[in-house]
């Protein structure tokens, strides 16, 4: 039975901490596997398209992102390439309820990560998928979308 986590909200200081990498020997642990499933179920239950471990109070480099309509667990994700082209679009966040804002993001990115089986993966994402990945990786560095919103 999956556990549904509480989402911590701004201004909780855990949201501003830089997250630590997950050690390779911990990736295949039952605990990590269960955490992945709990994070997916929490994201779905809370009606999100992405969720980062800091949002549930755990400062580890672990995110769930929805790409092509499917949730995937990304462990220790890193963006390795960003397009020059950028676009503004509206974003919101489960940790900043009730607030939306325009954020400029790269339109296309390459990202490497480790999956829950310990395999190194690469994803090339664009448009909404790229935006979701960038937003969630920002969480791992203590950055919230409100730090990047267009000031009017």
Which tokens sit at 124?
Answer: 């090339």
Instruction: Determine whether domain 13-147 maps to CATH 3.90.45.10.
Output: yes
pLDDT, position 1: 72
- Given this model, what pLDDT does residue 68 score? 87
At 126-143, the pLDDT tens digits run 999 999 999 999 999 999
Q: 22: helix, coil or strand?
A: coil
CA distances to 47, 50, 77, 143 from 81, rounded to whole Å, are 29, 20, 12, 19
pLDDT band at 152; cut points 50, 70, 90: low
Residues annotated catalytic, as ranges: 136
Q: What is the pLDDT of residues 8-36, one digit of tens each?
A: 999 999 999 999 999 989 998 999 999 99
2, 38 Cβ separation under 8 angstroms: yes
Claim: this prediction has a pTM higher than 0.85: yes
In tens, the pLDDT along 40-96 reads 999 999 999 999 999 999 999 999 999 988 999 999 999 999 999 999 999 999 999
What pLDDT band is residue 109 in, cutting at 50, 70 and 90?
Answer: very high
| Residue 150 CA, distance from chain mean position | 21
């Amino acid at each position: 039975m999956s556990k549904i986590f509480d989402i911590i909200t701004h201004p909780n200081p855990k949201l501003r901490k830089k997250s630590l990498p997950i050690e390779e020997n911990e990736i295949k642990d039952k605990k990590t596997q269960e955490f992945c499933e709990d994070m997916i179920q929490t994201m779905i239950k809370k009606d999100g398209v992405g969720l980062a471990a800091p949002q549930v109070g755990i400062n580890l480099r672990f995110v769930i992102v929805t790409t092509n309509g499917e949730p995937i667990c990304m462990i220790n994700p890193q963006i390795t390439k960003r397009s020059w082209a950028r676009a503004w679009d509206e974003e919101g966040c489960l940790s900043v309820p009730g607030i939306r804002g325009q954020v400029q993001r790269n339109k296309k990115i390459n990202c490497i990560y480790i999956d829950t089986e310990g395999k190194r993966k690469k994803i090339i994402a664009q448009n909404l998928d790229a935006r979701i990945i960038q937003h969630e990786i920002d969480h791992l560095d203590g950055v919230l979308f409100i730090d990047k919103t267009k000031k009017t």
